[in-house]
Structure 1
Amino acid sequence: MIEELIRRVAEDDEDAAEELTGIAGGEPQRLTPYHGLMFDLDVLWPPTLYRGAGDDVVGRVVERVDDGRTPDQLNHLLLVLAHSGHPLAEDALRRWEEQPPQGSDKLHVGALRYASQGGWTVAPDGSRRELCGGTAYQWLMREAPRAAGNPDCPWCGSPLWTAADIDTAEPAVGAALAHTGWSGRLVFRACIFCACSTTVYSEVTPAGAATWWAGNTGPDHLPAGAGPEEPPTLLPGTGPERPSPYQGSAWSQGGSTLGGHPDWIQDAEHVECPGCRQLMDYAGMVVGSDLDEYGEGAYYLHVHAPCGFAAMNYQQS
């Protein structure tokens, strides 16, 4: 079945690509024996299909970049390597950052910046740093009326929305956020309306404080008919562990997820910490259709424990 899907994808069958993408999200190990065939057939998109690719296939991708004969494929090849997360891929991206391969003049960023597309980066000390967690839990929405005294958005006047209120004292939360280094209560609070147009940061503490950051930059324009409006009165609670850290879905009801890897609707958009300019750690995703029957898009939550910042950004199709 998988081999047939791969051959259909090679012939630009979008339905087959969607089915393979679902397998890569829920059971990525099932695709490992077929990565060689994918590469033989030039199936390089979506690059998430190459999660967990082995030495042989990753080595072949690196060789193709090095030989420089397909510079038009360079963007896709670098994405494949980033999503593979393989040490050989990491070594190659580091090398190409200093010695750009053929075709790099057509890229918008250096080779090592591709790493974040696969959920990892290189820390200032040169070590590899995972931006995402290896454990994920479904988030189940429950009614939680707005607490008295919550502030309003300084841009549109709407009451600020508490997207999540979690505590690492809960074992599941601690497991999901282990990669972030955060310990204690963590509250994500922003304007649900203005966050659709710009990244919104908060200063957070392990005691559960979440304060609007004074350096937030307002959107160029507010959404049509903006505020003041009441945000949803729903708050996510930790549900069952997902079989795969990639299984959350930004497209479907029930897709909201604590931890794991984000399901980006567009390109990966890990945000920078305003304190140190390093990429923040990904913490979870709240899906629009879980907040409202007609909701769309997804809100992505990030934290940077060393500087005490949380952030929320948004994507939609």
Structure 2
Amino acid sequence: MVEELISKVSVGDDQAIEELSVIADADPARLTPYLGSLLDRDVLWPGKLFRAADADVVRRVVERIDGGRTPDRLNQLLIILAHSGHPLAQSALRRWSTEPPAGADKLYVDALSYAREGGWTVGPDGRRRDLCGSATYRWLMRDAPLRADGLTCPWCASPLWTAADLDTADPVVRAALEHTGWSGRLVIETCHFCACYTTLYSQVTPAGATAWWTGNTRPSYLGSAEAEDPPALTPAPGEALQSPYQASAWDQGGSTLGGRPDWIQDAEHADCPGCGEPMDYVGLIGGADLNDYGEGAYYLHLHQRCGFAAVNYQQS
């Protein structure tokens, strides 16, 4: 089956690419024996097909970049390495961040920044740090209780939306947030409207306290907006998923706690306003699970050490 799909992909069959992508999300290792064939056929996109690339495939990609033979494909090759997360890929991305390869002058960020596409980064101590966890749970939408405190967005006056109310006393939550180091209750509130235009930060504590960060800066293009009610739903953890890659920003039932994000655009891990480091990913809430329009997705982030949570949004 996989061999047939690869043959179809090599002649531009988009449906075959979609089917391979489904396999990459559910069981990336299933594609490992065939990734060399994808390289032979110059199939470099989407990069997530290479999540379980072995040392031989990663080495071939690194050699291709070092050889400078296809500088016009550098962006796709770097994304492949980022998704693989292989030690050889990590080493190469570090090297290219100070010794840029051919074609790097056409990129918008340096080579090491591509690591975020794969859900990891390199910290100030020089060590790899995973921004995402491996435990993943479906998020089920529950009716949100009416707010009694009257808190509203300082910019548009819409009532704030509780995008998450979690407690690590629940084993499911504890597993999903293990990579963040968080312990206790986590409440993430945001403005569902203004978060569509800029990353919104809040300050959070393990006691469940949450407060709009006064450093949030209203973008000039936001203009005036009338208050509108937030989604009448809030997520609650459901069943475990077999793979951390099974979030969907498009499909109903695709909202997930933990695991890896399904970015609609480029990876956009929020940076902590306290220290500047990338924040840990918490979960995705897809528009298809919130309303009939099904457009876009909210992405939730956390930085335990500085006590900041963040919400940003992407749409097609």
Same fold by TM-score, threshold 0.5 exceeded? Answer: yes
Which of the five TM-score ranges fits, normalised by the shorter chain? over 0.9
- Once residues 145 and 168 of structure 2 are traced to their aligned partners in structure 1, the CA distance between those partners, rounded to angstroms, is 23
- Once residues 311 and 95 of structure 1 are traced to their aligned partners in structure 2, the CA distance between those partners, rounded to angstroms, is 31
- Once residues 60 and 79 of structure 2 are traced to their aligned partners in structure 1, the CA distance between those partners, rounded to angstroms, is 14
Amino acid at match of 2:242: P
Provide the residue aligned with 2:273 in structure 1.
Answer: 274
Amino acid at match of 2:90: E
Provide the residue aligned with 1:254 in structure 2.
Answer: 253
- Once residues 192 and 34 of structure 2 are traced to their aligned partners in structure 1, the CA distance between those partners, rounded to angstroms, is 42
Amino acid at match of 1:309: F
In the TM superposition, what is the alpha-carbon distance from 1:23 to its structure 2 partner?
1.1
TM-score (norm 1): 0.97
Query: More displaced, 68-77 or 40-49?
Result: 68-77
Amino acid at match of 1:63: E
Provide the residue aligned with 1:100 in structure 2.
Answer: 100
In the TM superposition, what is the alpha-carbon distance from 1:220 to its structure 2 partner?
2.6
Query: More displaced, 290-299 or 44-53?
Result: 290-299
**Is the 1:194–1:219 contact (alpha carbons within 8 Å) kept by the matching residues of 2?**
no
Root-mean-square deviation over aligned CA pairs:
1.2
Q: Unaligned stretches of 5+ in structure 1?
A: none
Provide the residue aligned with 1:70 in structure 2.
Answer: 70
Provide the residue aligned with 2:109 in structure 1.
Answer: 109
In the TM superposition, what is the alpha-carbon distance from 1:221 to its structure 2 partner?
3.1
**Is the 1:71–1:103 contact (alpha carbons within 8 Å) kept by the matching residues of 2?**
yes
After superposition, residues 1-317 of structure 1 pair within 5 angstroms as: 1-222=1-222, 226-317=225-316
In the TM superposition, what is the alpha-carbon distance from 1:293 to its structure 2 partner?
2.1
CA-to-partner distance for each residue in 1:10-50, whole Å, 9 max, x for gaps? 22221111111111111111111111111111110000000
In the TM superposition, what is the alpha-carbon distance from 1:150 to its structure 2 partner?
4.3
- Once residues 179 and 285 of structure 1 are traced to their aligned partners in structure 2, the CA distance between those partners, rounded to angstroms, is 16
Amino acid at match of 1:164: A
In the TM superposition, what is the alpha-carbon distance from 1:135 to its structure 2 partner?
1.0
- Once residues 188 and 21 of structure 1 are traced to their aligned partners in structure 2, the CA distance between those partners, rounded to angstroms, is 31
In the TM superposition, what is the alpha-carbon distance from 1:233 to its structure 2 partner?
2.1
Secondary structure of the corresponding residue to residue 222 of structure 2:
coil
Count of residue pairs the alignment pairs up: 316
Secondary structure of the corresponding residue to residue 301 of structure 1:
strand
**Is the 2:250–2:294 contact (alpha carbons within 8 Å) kept by the matching residues of 1?**
no
CA-to-partner distance for each residue in 1:175-201, whole Å, 9 max, x for gaps? 111111111111111100111111100
TM-score (norm 2): 0.98
- Once residues 22 and 267 of structure 2 are traced to their aligned partners in structure 1, the CA distance between those partners, rounded to angstroms, is 18
Secondary structure of the corresponding residue to residue 289 of structure 2:
helix
**Is the 1:8–1:16 contact (alpha carbons within 8 Å) kept by the matching residues of 2?**
yes
Q: Unaligned stretches of 5+ in structure 2?
A: none
Amino acid at match of 1:188: I
- Once residues 280 and 150 of structure 2 are traced to their aligned partners in structure 1, the CA distance between those partners, rounded to angstroms, is 26
**Is the 1:202–1:311 contact (alpha carbons within 8 Å) kept by the matching residues of 2?**
yes
Instruction: Give the fraction of aligned pairs with identical amino acids, expressed as a percent.
Output: 65
CA-to-partner distance for each residue in 1:204-224, whole Å, 9 max, x for gaps? 00011110000001133338x
- Once residues 101 and 259 of structure 2 are traced to their aligned partners in structure 1, the CA distance between those partners, rounded to angstroms, is 32
Amino acid at match of 1:230: D
- Once residues 20 and 251 of structure 1 are traced to their aligned partners in structure 2, the CA distance between those partners, rounded to angstroms, is 17
Moved over 3 A (4+): none
